[in-house]
Amino acid sequence: MPEATESKKPAVTLPGTVEKIIPANTIAPEKAQIAVEGADHLYREIRVENTLQDEKGKKVGLKPGAQVDVKIEAEKEATVPK
């Protein structure tokens, strides 16, 4: 368990929407294409493996149109003041 005095990692959470599900094929697993709000137009879509775990540890997948949060975090040492 983290100590109370331990500082949090710098982070940002951006909203996103699952645009489509790309079916699995012989070389790649099923992917979810997510449009990240606030990202530059040419870089707003990301594709990630469409496998998550629910609160019971059971594997689940995202549906098209699902609203998601995309969290970006880094170690303090990997950041610079702005």
**What pLDDT does residue 6 have?**
55
**What pLDDT does residue 1 have?**
46
| Domain count within the chain | 1
What does each of the 82 residues of the chain score in pLDDT, given as a tens digit? Answer: 455 545 689 999 999 999 999 999 999 999 999 999 999 999 999 999 999 999 999 999 999 999 999 999 999 999 999 9
Quick check: is 78 in a domain? Answer: no
**What pLDDT does residue 7 have?**
62
Instruction: Find the domain containing 44 and state its range.
Output: 12-55
Quick check: is 45 in a domain? Answer: yes
**What pLDDT does residue 53 have?**
96
The span from the CA of 42 to the CA of 69, in Å, is: 19
Report the helix count and the strand count for the chain, using DSSP H and E: 0, 6
